[in-house]
Structure 1
């Protein structure tokens, strides 16, 4: 665990000196620990050729494994968790859409001894691959290895435009209507890429951001337009953003994901309850009923 914690500190800080300060160790001690870990694994984890350390491709893969191992170790030693083991459900944005509140309320009614913690984590797998959560609500295809997913429902896509811009005056929009605009892309946890457009009609320019809040701010400021799932309109209303149905874009699957390994014993119960709530007919927002800017 000491070796894993040292590696994670270096990966997070990008600098051995800062990692040593964070761990309250000397710089030589952290360097020796990292070297010993690499020797044990037989691979180089960190590229030391520049002043700012960078992870090698092997280091990037190992980072998720190390983080999951450390999280599991810390959780196992949490005596409080032995009495009430919470079920941590991650999401990057919009959670379970219109089903979020029914899920949380129903869980509390049926399983009060197992707290269901809904955690927003700006990461493509909402912290699942790093061991920060037990399951995650994700949107779009997920290619991370070692995960098992199941589709809960499908969401229509919407365009997000500045509330005082010309596109906000349209009842519906098409992908071609956005192609001449700068498209704001959340490259950390979002699902939209330029591949959503046909090869001969892709956006003229893009602007990348790292989370939903920055995505909304950029659109409200008129710096670009965005594309998201319909639940974003209800879960993230913004006075400067208008959501409009995007009539020619494919729908987005909403997934429940877990690691392909033994996990929290209540995961099957969570999956069954999520499917039941969807079947009960609490309809996702129709494309024509979207928030008109907050």
Structure 2
């Protein structure tokens, strides 16, 4: 064994592919069928890898195989390595097809990112964009595990940025919205907030601390929300059917404001805004990522 290498020379690409597929499926049978081999042959491949690495990669829970602590750590690095190899191979074949996996936060999902996606499709039809949505903490976990290449949305907290980089695109405000004919639209904001059901972003949302600071500054820190969500479908539905007020990023609700279905109640708070951009790992870019990022920058530069 090479004394300067941490990995056994007996570890082959087939071992890594088998391991990653088993980790994704949680079992052997589906992977064996997909690879066109028998389940005992796949099991031997996994056993070989575990012997070469000197660690069990999986624990058995009923019929499922779940990653051990060592397996989860190895998977994170193996994914990055495989993506780097795929990127290297793709670089030798310009125009080759592939999949670019992106994480999408609500603040960019309704207006900004559709423009990016359509432009990317026009220029790079050979690359499939696979978008994952969900809360911030979920997408950041996918990013660190190598299951998405970039997360588009608000700037993460400083404690989350180790090993990551953030590319600023534009500023997006957090606003207070209501249905167009809300009876308290001309009242003061503290009066309207005190008298109306309130929808807040979840405690895990990046914009929640900013909203909490605003409420505290207006003597409403103890106010209890009727609902917590950043979902456009849910928040819009509740607001249109009631007198609820909703603190949400402008980017989420932009179309409803343009159509006049919803109105913005002026808070007068300049600090209710934050950076929107692209967060990615500081590693070799996956096929199409550089092109995607450049298109996103161009779209951001032309925002009104």
How high is the TM-score relative to the length of structure 2? Answer: 0.57
Q: Which has the higher contact order (CA 8 A, sep 6+)?
A: 2
Q: Which stretches in structure 2 are left out of the alignment for 5+ residues? A: 1-12
The answer to whether the aligner puts 1:257 opposite 2:279 as a matched pair is: yes
Q: How does 1:170-209 map to 2 (within 5 A)?
A: 170=185, 185=202, 191=206, 197=212, 201=222
Change (3 A) 1:47 1:233: same
Give the drift of 1:43.
4.1
Q: How far, CA to CA, are the matches of 1:88 and 1:204 in structure 2?
A: 38
Pick the aligned partner of 2:58 from 27, 32, 46: 46
Give the drift of 1:169.
6.3
Q: Which residue of 2 aligns with 1:149?
A: 166
Give the drift of 1:254.
1.0
Q: Which residue of 1 aligns with 2:79?
A: 67
CA-based RMSD of the aligned residues comes to 5.5
The answer to whether the aligner puts 1:55 opposite 2:70 as a matched pair is: no
Q: How far, CA to CA, are the matches of 2:27 and 2:154 in structure 1?
A: 34
Q: In structure 1, the residue corresponding to 2:139 is in which secondary structure?
A: coil
Q: How does 1:126-275 map to 2 (within 5 A)?
A: 128-129=143-144, 135-141=150-156, 143=160, 145-158=162-175, 170=185, 185=202, 191=206, 197=212, 201=222, 215-219=231-235, 222=238, 228-234=248-254, 242=262, 244=264, 247=267, 250-263=272-285
Greater helix share, 1 or 2?
2
Deviations 1:227-261 (A, max 9, x none): 54221123789x9x957569468433212233313
How high is the TM-score relative to the length of structure 1? Answer: 0.58
The total of aligned residue pairs comes to: 270
Pick the aligned partner of 1:33 from 45, 62, 65: 45
Aligned residues of 1:181 and 1:203 also touching (Cα < 8 A): yes
Q: How far, CA to CA, are the matches of 2:20 and 2:195 in structure 1?
A: 40
Q: Which stretches in structure 1 are left out of the alignment for 5+ residues? A: 284-294
